[in-house]
Amino acid sequence: MAEGRAQAARRSDERQIALFLDMLAAERGAQANTLSAYRRDLADFGAYLARSGRLFVTAGTQDLRAYLGGQSQRGLRASTVARRLSAVRQFYRFLYSEGLRKDNPAAILEGPRRTRPLPKTLSLDEVDGLLRAAAASAAVAAPLPERLRAARLACLLETLYATGLRVSELVALPMSAARHDARVVVVRGKGNKERMVPLNNAAKNAMAAYLDLLAQSRREAKSKWLFPSFGQSGHLTRQHFARELKPVAAAAGLRANQVSPHVLRHAFASHLLHNGADLRVVQTLLGHADISTTQIYTHVLDERLKSLVRELHPLGEADDPR
């Protein structure tokens, strides 16, 4: 009988998580990656409660504090604990608004203090070396399948650095994004919001070379995706792209942990700001809903301001007598 009650309790918790995720998808336009992250965090919290015989509907504030305290004791980063706290807060706000709880035990919880680290990025020379290594790999004489993979990677890198897309947006670009006369890419990002991002000539040339090989392989007619794959999604996965990036990074003389698709997105934003782009423009190009997210790059602006003072102030290069 006890086992039956435990199974019923687990099913109840799972139903509530499912309802919460349905709300996020329907009302906030949450994408699959976001929903998966919430599901993992809430499943971890539910497993903790189950070990002490608690349910989502019976847990109190002390249970939540004990869970979060245990997360910190396990050595998890403050950012991970803060993310899980955010998931728990939103979940209990949902349960309360739906009448599934008469109170919100997460309302008074405080998250861990955390400093936002500067984003890892690459210098202009390092990005240039990476792009040249990818182009060189694509130019090697080889069987068609190998040339296609190399051209695809060169196209991915040129497009990523030209646009600053999220890797999930990049790998899921439709074939229509590669029109021959396209000067911009229309991207459907977080919250199902669309934005337009310009394409430079290097990205368009890499895309044309890749599409030529794709046409020779006769794979373009079988998929609506620009980067088709035989996997479940129908397009290249983020993980596959990240794996293919490592050998090219090594060829460019970079360490594997220096380079990832997200690092190239950071490089796109940092280099734009360094060359004088407005922070609001970069916010729009990156698809950030809040300017505070883009402000992680203000260290680039600080360095640029110092450089401008040194270069333009009449005493900027004068020796300081003190």
Active centre residues (catalytic): 166, 190, 262, 265, 288, 297
- Dmax over CA atoms of the chain, in Å, equals 85
Q: Pick the closest to residue 278 from 298, 296, 293 (CA basis).
A: 298
Tokens of 128: 């240039």
Burial zone of 35 (CB within 10 Å; 0-12 exposed, 13-18 middle, 19+ buried): middle
> Quick one: which of 156, 152, 154 has its CA closest to 144?
152
**CA–CA distances in Å: residue 47 to residues 50, 198, 270:** 5, 46, 41
Q: According to DSSP H, which parts of 104-143 are helical?
A: 124-139
Give the alpha-carbon dihedral of 189, 191, 196, 197, to 10 degrees: -40
Question: From the DSSP assignment, how many helices (H) and strands (E) are in the chain?
Answer: 13, 2
Residue 123 burial class via C-beta count within 10 angstroms: exposed 0-12, middle 13-18, buried 19 and up: exposed
Determine the Cα–Cα distance for residues 269 and 264; give it in Å rounded to an integer: 9
How far apart, in whole angstroms, are the C-alpha atoms of residue 220 and residue 315? 60
Is residue 112 within 8 Å of residue 82, measured between CB atoms? yes
